[in-house]
Structure 1
């Protein structure tokens, strides 16, 4: 039994997977911003080399548009040499003041630019394998560093929980919006990975589940075109089908991965920050519990109220 949802295999990388990826597994991270709309990101790489990255040319996000490219930074990994043909990073003067913007998940550095806009760096594990597998390669364990620049409200990730198929399975659903309008892309691969600059993946983690103690990646998927709605049922999954990455030699089914807590991290549209939702999980449904029955009815009504014509998330 399968709830319609666009699943994504961690082995398939999306072309524009976040606010904007700068590098992976870096440390000693610093952020400077000048009064010309430029940011200088400095860090030490896994090989121990200090690197300076100059970023400019993007802010906020465009609403989905088939003809206009989504906002995206220009990045100079030579610290400004390619843009200015000199050691620009050595004379870069930061004019950024203390950050007083909204709370950000996974934040490493953030500040307020002279024009009132914000810049931030977030660092989290994007490529964890789905279906609760423990990462078996270094690439699956990497911490990605994402840069963002914005002056608007953040994208909004709304999530509700209930049960599905007469209470047999745990279920969550919601919608992803930016400035009140749906976040979605125009195409995906066969396995659900975005293939354009507007699609964004939502990464669902489960806590203290059958997979083991602590946080594990349950799955990743996109919000639907054109509603921004999504839904996910905690069913058993065949790890050998659907494009899921799995350890060499593994065959068979993965169990239902519901846990005592959940968190969902959504890659920010354009160059806005990544956002996160988290909450405690529900207990198993009991048809003899009047509170469960009433709650399920209320959540079914909530789902119906946000569908706006979505045809993939109508199952109660």
Structure 2
């Protein structure tokens, strides 16, 4: 086709056609031009691009193709479906069959077993502000008093952790980015004020550092504990890692280890859940607290048993 016919077909100027042809040449597309009355531009026979027709939303959604739930939370569910369909169509038949087999054999489910998922109605708006670099005006609910506060936030990025969404954001004029749970945003307005994310900011590196600092602040104490083989397998997270690092096997088959704890209250509940598979040796106040709870439970269940027996005896008589 001649430049004039292409310009008419695409509703652009001939000059635009010349410019775009040069750009296609630079990108390696085999487009050739012949001069003369019967000349024009011609694409090499049989040439096909590897990927065609992806919209901007579909291209942005590619990294979420294995996470349909989070993609839907972000408002990108249809875009992810479209991107996956077009990617599949672009694959050679052999690879397409292999990809189909993979999708039937493997499934990624990010949230934990005991969480139904948070209600995050403002997540799409936060994601849009992250993408466009817009300041957010939010009403946010904190853990400490005053619980409900107004904040202006510059959202640097979003993180999905165990099925829960977090936004890493800085306050204008503040000391640096902090982490906010998206489900704790009570009210939100996307302002027209823009901001620039610092060039040296790395979201993944920031999140790793945040997690290290979080655990350092969370576990400020430790407990000396004996664990049965079954109790050892019931540990998770930081406790399981600490048991592996500090545990020593004793002659009776139990393991003695130093485990990190948040507080006496939290540790009391944590070790009580292990029942007879754990014995806390220290600190003394935690051991005394557990002993007191054990006595109360023993008396309660012994009393329940006597009451049930007495009730049964009266019915029989």
TM-score, normalised to structure 1's length?
A: 0.22
Higher helix fraction (1 or 2)? 2
Higher strand fraction (1 or 2)? 1
Higher relative contact order (CA 8 A, sep 6+): 1
